[in-house]
Structure 1
Amino acid sequence: MIATLFDLTFLLIAPFWALMIFAPKWSWTRRIAESYLIVLPPVVIYIVLMVPVLPELLPLVTRPEIGALAEFMSTPTGAALVWAHMLAWDLFVGRWMYLEGRRLDVHPLVMAPVLVITILLAPVGLPLFLIVRKVCDTTNRGAAVVTHQ
């Protein structure tokens, strides 16, 4: 069951990423992304995985020690929990980036690679987007470079 939930986590969020990356100007993409509910699938999976191991997990997150945490994360349940946590957070951040990109009218050819980097390596994608956002949001100075307007 844990392996199924692990696989399901990505399958449930992939359509949202695909919409934001490949159909960013489609009206339904914006409507869907505006709902914070898109992050619920990985959150629900996280909760389903977490509840049975909560007594074991609580000490690991309240008094973290690298050895014990590494040992837990090396189990199928630990890996699936971390995966669901990462995907939920990455989608939450990616959703915000997508909406900000649309608000600033950042060209989809600029946003798509930033979103791809974010889904793969969120700690790299976020600062990259913050740079794009700064360029576009400084009273729209520089927006023509990014949006071709």
Structure 2
Amino acid sequence: MTPSSIFSFGNAFVLLGWLLLLILPHWKYTQTLVLNGVILLLAVIYAYLVIKDLGSFEMDSFNSLASVKALFTTDTAIAIGWLHYLAFDLFVGAYVVRKSKEVGLARWVYSLILPFVFMFGPVGYVMFVLVKMVKTKSLAE
């Protein structure tokens, strides 16, 4: 697979997880399919690419902005990074749905937050924490 096809596959495949979270959040298999299906497959592809194609990764590759920038100079490295984003943002989305149900947050409320998690990861998470805090008057998990 080329980096472009990996990128395209990831973008299309991750939508399955997001659709499950939005359309069928209460289905008993949604969390399992998202966590152990979609995210796991993205993680396996990610791990394979990291092992196979990351190149000259060294322990100090994260010590400076210039070092991190140097990691993302190939299409393969960008595809790897993109899979990382897709998997972790979906993981956070699954967490938001799970926790929202636990604290009794209305479906329409967390459904409005999920697109922000999908597009802007941490911003969506901050939105969720603030809404949950208002609902429960607590930052506790």
- TM-score, normalized by length of structure 1? 0.78
2:23 corresponds to 1:5: no
Quote how far apart the aligned CAs of 1:31 are: 5.2
Percent identity between the two aligned chains: 24
Distance 1:100 1:14 in 2: 21
Deviations 1:71-127 (A, max 9, x none): 331320121111011111111111111101112221121111201100000110011
Distance 2:47 2:114 in 1: 26
Aligned to 1:99: 98
What amino acid does structure 2 have at the position aligned with 1:79? Answer: I
Aligned to 1:122: 121
Between structure 1 and structure 2, the one with the greater Rg is 1
Aligned to 1:51: 51
- TM-score, normalized by length of structure 2? 0.82
C-alpha spacing 1:75/1:60, structure 2 compared with 1 (3 Å):
farther
* Paired residues of 1:101 and 1:133 also in contact (CA < 8 A): yes
